Structure 1
Amino acid sequence: MTVHPVEQLVMRQRITLMINRYAFTLGDDGPLVAFAQQKRMAFKEQVTFYADEAKTQPIFSFKARRKLDLGAVYDVFDADGQAIGWFKKDFKKSLLSSTWHTGVMHQGLEASGQERNRTVAVLRRLWDLVPIIGEIPVPWQFHFDFATADGTPVLSSQKRIALRDTYDVTFPAAPNGARMDWRVGACIAVALDALQSR
C-alpha cells in the first residue's frame, strides 16, 4: 500500500458514554481519511482505524503489547498486520511533564514529544485530581510537539479552544522534504487524547 505524505489532519472527537470516536479529515473541509473508536477503560488497548465511518475497510491499527502496564509500548500495524511503528509514554519523565516516544521503522525515524506549555501541564494535572471536575473536558489548549534527537520537528498535536474536541495534527517536512508516516501520527493523536491520564 502506497502511503502519500500528509501535511495536516484535523481530528474531531465524538464522545459517548463508553466509546470515544475519532474522525480524521484532510484539513477542515477535506475528505475523511480515517475513522476510529476507542473503548473507555479497556484493559488491553487496541484501536482499529477504518477508511469510512461504516467501518467496512480497516486501514491501520495500534495495540498495547501488555495489559495494565504504565510504560506500555503500543505497536502500530498497517492493513496487512505488519508493524510500521510504535509509541510509548515515558512514565518517569511524565511525572513532571508528559513525555512520549515514537518510532517509524520504515522511515528510520525516532522522536520524543512533550507538552509545549509546562504551566498548562501542571494545571491539567490539578484539574484531573478533582473527581467531579476531572470528568469535564479541559478548557485550555493542549499542545504536544515531537522532534528527533537533533531537534527536527516531525509531529504536532494541538487542541483547539472550542466546545467540541478538535485537534490540528501537523507533520512538518524534514530538510529532505520527507514527512512522518501519518498513520503513526494519527495513532499518537488518539493516544494523547484517550490515554494521556493513564
Structure 2
Amino acid sequence: MLDPNAHDRFVLRQRVKLVINQYEFSIPGPDGTESEPFCFVEQARFKFKEDIRFFADSSKSQELMRILARQRFDPRARYDVTDDVGGKIGEIQKEFGASLLRSTFTLYDGAGTRVALVRERSVPVALGRRAVQLIPYVDSVADWLPIPYDFEFLDGEEVLGVLRRRRGKLRDVYDLDLSADTGHRIDRRLALATAVGMDALQAR
C-alpha cells in the first residue's frame, strides 16, 4: 500500500457520478504521467453529518481514513480526520468569517496543534467566482469556466504547498504540490483530506 507521507505531489480526480461525490488519487511522474490510483474516496449519502471515507481501491474492502464532521449543518464546522482504526490524524476547521471573502480553513495535527492555514490564493478571483455563481443560468456551468480555484497551504507567510484546479474539465481535477514543505510539517494524509474537502465540503 502506498504511503502518502513518502510523496509530495498528487493528482485528485473527481469521478463522473450524478448523485454522489467520488474521487481518486494518483501520483504524477516526472513527465506528468499518472500512476494507477492508490486511493478511492466516497462521500457518504444521506448523512446528517458529513462523512467522507478513503479506501485502498473502489472495492471499498480496505478503509484507509475518513473525514467526519463534529456538527450538523454548521458553517463553522470542524472535521476530524482519522485513520483506519480511529486514530486522530488531524482536524480541519472552516474559518467562517474569513471565508466570506475567500474560502479559508485551519489545519491541526493529531495533537490539536495548528500546522497550517489553507485559503484561496486571490481575493479578487474568489469574489469574482462567487459573483458568477449568482448569475441565473450561468451558475450551472460556472465550474466549467476558466476561473481559477486555487489554494495555498501557509505557515505564516511561508507557502508550504499549493492546490490547483485544472481549467475547463467536465469533472474537477486538482494538482496538489507540497514539495515546498521539506520538513513535512503537514501530514500528507491530512493534506489529501483537505484537498477532497475543498471540493466535496463546498458542494462543488
Partners of 1:71 and 1:11 in 2: CA distance? 25
Q: How does 1:71-110 map to 2 (within 5 A)?
A: 71-105=76-110, 110=115
Q: How does 1:34-45 map to 2 (within 5 A)?
A: 34-39=39-44, 42-45=47-50
Q: Single out whichever of 159-168 and 39-48 deviates more from structure 2.
A: 39-48
What is the aligned-residue identity percentage? 34
Q: Indicate the residue corresponding to 1:16 in structure 2.
A: 17
* Superposition TM-score, scaled by structure 2 size: 0.85
Partners of 2:55 and 2:179 in 1: CA distance? 24
- The gaps in structure 2 that reach 5 residues or longer are none
Q: Indicate the residue corresponding to 1:153 in structure 2.
A: 159
1:96-123 per-residue CA deviation (whole Å, 9 max, x = no partner) reads 1221111123695511122112222011
Aligned residue pairs: how many?
196
Partners of 2:113 and 2:4 in 1: CA distance? 16
* Superposition TM-score, scaled by structure 1 size: 0.87
Give the deviation of 1:179 after TM superposition. 5.3
Give the deviation of 1:181 after TM superposition. 1.6
Q: Indicate the residue corresponding to 1:125 in structure 2.
A: 130
Residues 1:182 and 2:188 aligned together: yes
1:116-157 per-residue CA deviation (whole Å, 9 max, x = no partner) reads 1222201111122235432322412210001113x3333321
Give the deviation of 1:83 after TM superposition. 1.0
What secondary structure is seen at the aligned counterpart in 2 of 1:19? coil
Q: Indicate the residue corresponding to 1:55 in structure 2.
A: 60
Closer, same or farther in 2 for the Cα pair 1:106/1:26, shift >3 Å? farther
Give the deviation of 1:180 after TM superposition. 2.2
In the alignment, is the contact (CA less than 8 A) between 2:10 and 2:25 conserved in 1?
Answer: yes
Structure 1 moving runs of 4+ over 3 Å = 1-4, 39-43, 106-109
Q: Which residue identity does 1:182 align to in structure 2?
A: R
In the alignment, is the contact (CA less than 8 A) between 1:5 and 1:179 conserved in 2?
Answer: no
Give the deviation of 1:184 after TM superposition. 0.9
What secondary structure is seen at the aligned counterpart in 2 of 1:190? helix
In the alignment, is the contact (CA less than 8 A) between 1:11 and 1:167 conserved in 2?
Answer: yes
Closer, same or farther in 2 for the Cα pair 1:156/1:41, shift >3 Å? farther
Q: Single out whichever of 77-86 and 37-46 deviates more from structure 2.
A: 37-46
In the alignment, is the contact (CA less than 8 A) between 2:144 and 2:169 conserved in 1?
Answer: no
What secondary structure is seen at the aligned counterpart in 2 of 1:125? helix
